[in-house]
């Protein structure tokens, strides 16, 4: 299993200029075989920071992810954003994990 963690720092308004292609990629990526989780989130403490959290069954599923046209469109939009200066920082890391387990934490209901 692979966990992918990506962080983008955008200038104010920069994320919004890419949002349509990102939304399309999210919708389609979640349907891909091997995609357990594919989420983008805006950091509540830093509204210009977007965080991608992905969980894939294996490297083959992640490799296949980048072969879809909607990913080409999103990567092109993010590349254009970087060139025009909408992205000020970017990092991407992949973590290989052996498995997962329930945390065992239950929120009280009353």
Cα separation, 99 vs 110, in Å, equals 33
Cα separation, 55 vs 104, in Å, equals 20
Domains of the chain: 2-96 (3.30.70.100)
Helix %, strand %, coil % of the chain (to 5): 35, 30, 35
For residue 98, give every residue at least 6 positions away whose Cβ sits within 8 Å of its Cβ, in sequence order, or none. 1
- Per residue in 16-44, pLDDT tens? 999 999 999 999 999 999 999 999 999 99
Residue 110 scores a pLDDT above 90 = no
- Per residue in 71-86, pLDDT tens? 999 999 999 999 989 9
* Beta bridge pairs of residue 71: none
Task: Give the pLDDT score at 26.
Answer: 96
């Amino acid at each position: 299993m692979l966990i992918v963690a990506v962080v983008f720092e955008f200038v104010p308004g920069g994320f919004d200029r890419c949002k349509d292609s990102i939304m399309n990629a999210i919708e389609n990526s979640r349907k891909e075989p091997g995609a357990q989780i594919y989420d983008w989130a805006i950091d509540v403490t830093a509204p210009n920071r977007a965080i991608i959290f992905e969980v894939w069954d294996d490297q083959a599923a992640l490799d296949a992810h980048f072969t879809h046209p909607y990913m080409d469109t999103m990567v092109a939009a993010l590349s254009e954003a970087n060139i025009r200066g909408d992205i000020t920082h970017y990092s991407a890391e992949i973590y290989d994990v052996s498995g997962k387990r329930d945390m065992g934490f239950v929120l009280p209901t009353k």
